[in-house]
Structure 1
């Protein structure tokens, strides 16, 4: 408490503006204050945190490691203080808010188009910042306060995290139609004899397809591992490669006409696509609204 008494709330607001803008003049404009006043506040903050916070490199100011550490808890604290001064309700039509989301290439493909359409209609001043990462990285970012919401598959989240299922997903295979039998399907032995494409952020990690093969005592050859779905179609057409991916990542409207979609020749366990958040967000009306939007667009689309 003694440390808190030393801090003026205006100093925290100034710190946030400086860390976001990484520029004294722009921070001053953002705060509607003079540049000398912001420079003086920066000097106070440097003394308070015993760290330069912003250092000049290559002609511009850069955040120190300590400043980067301060950013997530500072943003959380300011949002919670703001919540004390406003009604507990949330009016999306009038709100100005930015949410930080993390999801895979698959999540972005299936969720972002309908979600953005809804947000542009209901909350035109609500912004999204979307990043990508592995499952483990996204969960870690939730715990550290670096993101507000994660979208993906989270079978064993930490105790302080909350999850909600959005839909169940299954798998399909894609291959060049001219390299398939007339019936357009492959037996398991023929499927295993072909080289495969794997779409995964971390190729060495377990996935549902190779787990299903392991239960049969089988293993496929992965000739190409990619972190993004976007280029996968382009590398399959005209080759003997096979891609096995989540059904909703495939769209007949945009599928290369040279490719054919067919059922896998083995049973692959379906997975639940989820949203995950930290328990500290439970009381945030705006966050609850966003989660409801995600649930609604998934239900209406899928």
Structure 2
């Protein structure tokens, strides 16, 4: 680096955005700055580090080898600075803050009925804004800073995203009991048509993966993003629903039978995930603790 005096914290924030977006206009939008201002900042960064940092590639701008080597240290440095800024004690009784969370209606049903009475009593100025995103979109939103916390199952979590386990969950099968024969084995299961719950159409979930490992596929006739309504669609049909057991706590339809899956379906980890740059955020840490305590 040739000119340390030419570098300030604002330039490092611009560099972080440029490294993440790899596009000057998108970095400008992310920073709420003009494109010329970001271009000028990139010129200063190139001069300070004596490296182009971003160069033209086949798919747009790409990081140079120097930039790729610098990125982890840059992320850690800015996370530390942000931690200093927001490390003051969080007083939930006096706080006025909105937390942005991504979770499905399954997660909302499992967590919010326990969490909200606690928040209303201990932190009346705290508000929650809930969004529903696919797993991939939730991880991208954490990285981009568009949400504070993601709750769900994230097997492909980016390295910069941290997580803590909330609970482990099992799948069960729901069928109309009048359609049950003397057995409910794998052959009976595969002979039925299926209801599948998923945010992304055509995306193979844990059930599809387990069935495919046995050399089979399911005949899915309905895919929907809502866990809560799915059990209501089974009564009076020959359909089978394979669903997380916690989503059935309020099931009141006497026509339905809940059965173990007739093949091995591993339990899955339900976690809360956040970007590691937010490790020093006392308010977010407090919210994570409340979620863990209110299960």
TM-score (norm 2): 0.71
Please give the residue correspondences for 1:5-44 in structure 2 after superposition, counting only pairs within 5 Å.
none
Moved over 2 A (4+): 1-4, 48-51, 80-84
Partner SS, residue 276 of structure 1: strand
Looking at structure 1, the residues matched to 293 and 160 of structure 2 have their Cα atoms a distance apart, in angstroms, of: 24
- Does 1:167 pair with 2:167? yes
Looking at structure 2, the residues matched to 91 and 120 of structure 1 have their Cα atoms a distance apart, in angstroms, of: 14
Partner SS, residue 272 of structure 1: strand
After superposition, the C-alpha distances for 1:67-119 in whole angstroms (9 at most, x for unaligned) are xxxxxxxxxx9xx98974x8721111111111000011211111111111211
User: How far is 1:283 from its partner?
Assistant: 0.7
Change (3 A) 1:223 1:124: same
Change (3 A) 1:3 1:89: closer
**Alignment-derived partner of residue 207 in structure 1:** 205
- Give the number of equivalent residue pairs: 226
Please identify, of 187-196 and 226-235, the stretch whose mean Cα deviation from structure 2 is larger: 226-235
**Alignment-derived partner of residue 227 in structure 1:** 225
**Alignment-derived partner of residue 188 in structure 2:** 190
Looking at structure 2, the residues matched to 259 and 293 of structure 1 have their Cα atoms a distance apart, in angstroms, of: 34
CA-based RMSD of the aligned residues comes to 2.5
Partner SS, residue 217 of structure 2: coil
Change (3 A) 1:2 1:172: closer
Please identify, of 87-96 and 194-203, the stretch whose mean Cα deviation from structure 2 is larger: 87-96
User: How far is 1:288 from its partner?
Assistant: 0.6
TM-score (norm 1): 0.69
Looking at structure 2, the residues matched to 290 and 83 of structure 1 have their Cα atoms a distance apart, in angstroms, of: 19
**Alignment-derived partner of residue 128 in structure 1:** 128
Partner SS, residue 208 of structure 2: helix
After superposition, the C-alpha distances for 1:219-249 in whole angstroms (9 at most, x for unaligned) are 1111111111232122211100000001111
Looking at structure 1, the residues matched to 293 and 149 of structure 2 have their Cα atoms a distance apart, in angstroms, of: 16
Q: Which of 258, 274, 281 pairs up with 1:261?
A: 258
| Greater relative CO (CA pairs within 8 A, separation 6+) | 2
Alignment gaps of 5+ in structure 1 = 5-45, 52-76
Asked if 1 retains the 8 angstrom alpha-carbon contact of 2:152 and 2:271, the reply is yes
User: How far is 1:2 from its partner?
Assistant: 8.3
**Alignment-derived partner of residue 156 in structure 2:** 156
